[in-house]
Amino acid sequence: MAQLATIASLAGTGLAVYGQVRQGQQQKATNQAQAENLRQQQAAQQDQAAVQSAVSEADRQDKLARTIASARARAAASGIAPDDGSAAALTTGLRSDAAKDSASDASVMSARLAAGRRSLLAADGSLNSYLRAGQTLGGAVRSLLG
């Protein structure tokens, strides 16, 4: 009768270990599906941010070109050579400011993209189920030996 209880205990432990491993496999499959979904969302967000950045840069360049053309036209209308002296300094300053704004926007976009990335330390749960199964099996062996 004592042997039958030992065999029943081992069978129960085996079923518990199998259940935990199976649960871990299901959890791993779910986590992989969620990770793939997250990768797709991040790719879409990156594409959207790149398009938005390109549109913003095109708008900025268009506005810069119009502002420089306007400044040159005003300088020429007032009798100042638009490529010399203060008029040239003005257009150079406008170009410099536009380049700084562009660099600032690029750094903000890269920071936003970096913030959207998932941590490499995020647990996927695949190892935890095997560790729990090992602990269950170890506890059963200790109880049988003790």
Domain boundaries of the chain, sorted by first residue: 2-118+126-145
Enumerate residues 6+ apart whose C-beta is below 8 A from 9: 140, 143, 144
Report percent pLDDT > 90 for the chain: 2
Nearest 10 degrees: Cα torsion 10, 14, 19, 24? 130
- Mean pLDDT in the chain? 78
More confident residue, 51 or 125: 51
| Among the ranges given (36-50, 59-73, 82-96, 109-123), the one the predictor scored with the smallest mean pLDDT | 109-123
pLDDT tens by residue, 110-126: 777 777 654 444 444 55
